[in-house]
């Protein structure tokens, strides 16, 4: 497989499993690399930016997205497929009173197809443990200070479920179209470690 080795115990187990499957002739490493390269070539935070911009400009799409993101994504030519298993995407909306942030406490589960490759800090044990126990402090370290009255909800991704934050639409952007709005969204905004 790839030369980009992750030293985590899970990554080591995956490499061991790949080696056994290759040995038994059940897996062709070159074919697996081709599939992964094709998938990652399409994986970009620009996909998530488009989803958010559409939700900000189309209330019906937003309602469908919040109710069942997997069914809404194909409207934009997107999906949560690409692997052996389709993950369920949950989109959680930031409001005036609630701010959402995502994490994967077990490893680094993440909606790659919509957010692109995960940032290094997202995979770090420090982020994974501290955002759950001290989310307000972690967000402040990212430069995001929220009022004490704002409830912070932390969503823990796993093998079956991924999360994406629908940030609040910035004030004064009512005149902007989808493309201009998409340009204002950031990957950290989709994770919840930044406002947009």
- Quote the pTM value: 0.80
Determine which one of 2, 8, 108, 149 is catalytic. Answer: 108
Query: In this structure, are 136 and 162 located in the same domain?
Result: yes
2 is catalytic: no
CA distance readout (Å), 143 to 111, 121, 140? 23, 15, 5
161 is catalytic: no
Q: Which residues, other chains included, contact 196 with Cβ-Cβ below 8 Å and sequence gap of 6+?
A: 52, 167, 168, 169, 170, 184, 185, 186, 189
Q: Is 104 annotated as a binding residue?
A: yes
**Cβ atoms of 154 and 135 closer than 8 Å:** yes
Flag whether 4 is in a domain: no
Choice between 159 and 72, residue whose per-residue pLDDT is larger: 72
Indicate which CATH number applies to the domain containing 139. 3.90.330.10
Query: In this structure, are 81 and 126 located in the same domain?
Result: yes
Task: Give the other-Cβ count within 10 Å of 3's Cβ.
Answer: 4
Flag whether 147 is in a domain: yes
Flag whether 3 is in a domain: no
Domain count of the fold of the chain:
2
Determine which one of 109, 118, 124, 149 is catalytic. Answer: 109
Flag whether 58 is in a domain: yes
Q: Which residues, other chains included, contact 181 with Cβ-Cβ below 8 Å and sequence gap of 6+?
A: 52, 53, 56, 57, 169, 173
Q: pLDDT tens-digit profile of 31-88? A: 766 665 655 557 789 999 999 999 999 999 999 999 999 999 999 999 886 555 678 9
Q: pLDDT tens-digit profile of 110-153? A: 898 899 888 999 999 999 999 999 999 999 999 999 999 999 99
Query: In this structure, are 84 and 179 located in the same domain?
Result: yes
Q: Is 108 annotated as a binding residue?
A: yes
109 is catalytic: yes
Residue 96 to residue 82: CA distance in whole angstroms: 35
CA angle 161, 12, 107 (to 5 degrees): 30
Query: In this structure, are 100 and 15 located in the same domain?
Result: no
Domain hosting residue 70, numbered range: 43-191
Determine which one of 8, 44, 79, 107 is catalytic. Answer: 107
Determine which one of 8, 44, 79, 104 is catalytic. Answer: 104
107 is catalytic: yes
Flag whether 174 is in a domain: yes
Flag whether 129 is in a domain: yes
**Cβ atoms of 116 and 164 closer than 8 Å:** no
Q: Is 129 annotated as a binding residue?
A: no
Query: In this structure, are 93 and 183 located in the same domain?
Result: yes
Phi and psi, residue 132, nearest 5°: -75, -45
Q: Is 44 annotated as a binding residue?
A: no
Flag whether 1 is in a domain: no
């Amino acid at each position: 497989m790839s030369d980009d080795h992750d030293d985590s115990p899970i990554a080591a187990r995956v490499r061991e499993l790949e080696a056994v499957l290759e040995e038994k002739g059940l897996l062709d490493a070159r074919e697996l690399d081709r599939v992964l390269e094709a998938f990652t070539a399409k994986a970009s935070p620009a996909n998530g930016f488009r989803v958010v911009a559409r939700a900000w400009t189309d209330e019906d799409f937003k309602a469908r997205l919040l109710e069942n993101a997997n069914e809404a994504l194909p409207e934009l030519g997107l999906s949560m497929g690409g692997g052996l298993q389709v993950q369920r995407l949950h989109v959680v909306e930031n409001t005036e009173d609630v701010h959402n942030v995502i994490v994967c406490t077990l490893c680094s589960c993440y909606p790659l197809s919509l957010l692109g490759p995960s940032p290094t800090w997202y995979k770090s044990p420090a982020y994974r443990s501290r955002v759950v126990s001290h989310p307000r402090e972690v967000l402040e370290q990212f430069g995001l200070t929220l009022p004490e009255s704002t409830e912070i909800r932390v969503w823990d991704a796993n093998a079956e479920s991924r999360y994406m934050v629908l940030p609040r639409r910035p004030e004064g952007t009512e005149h902007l179209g989808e493309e201009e709005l998409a340009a204002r969204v950031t990957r950290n905004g989709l994770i919840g470690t930044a406002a947009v």
